[in-house]
Amino acid sequence: MRIDRCVCFNVTFAEIRDFAASRVGTTEADVQDRFGCGEKCGTCVPYVRRTLRTGQAVFHQLLNDRDEPAPRT
**pLDDT digit string, tens, across residues 4-49:** 999 999 999 999 999 999 999 999 999 999 999 999 999 999 999 9
Q: Which pLDDT does position 28 carry in this prediction?
A: 95
Reported pTM: 0.94
In degrees rounded to 5, what are phi and psi of residue 20?
Answer: -65, -35
73 pLDDT exceeds 70? no
Q: What long-range pairs does 1-5 form, CB within 8 A, spacing at least 24?
A: 1/60, 1/61, 1/62, 2/58, 2/59, 2/60, 3/47, 3/58, 3/59, 3/60, 3/62, 4/57, 4/58, 4/59, 5/44
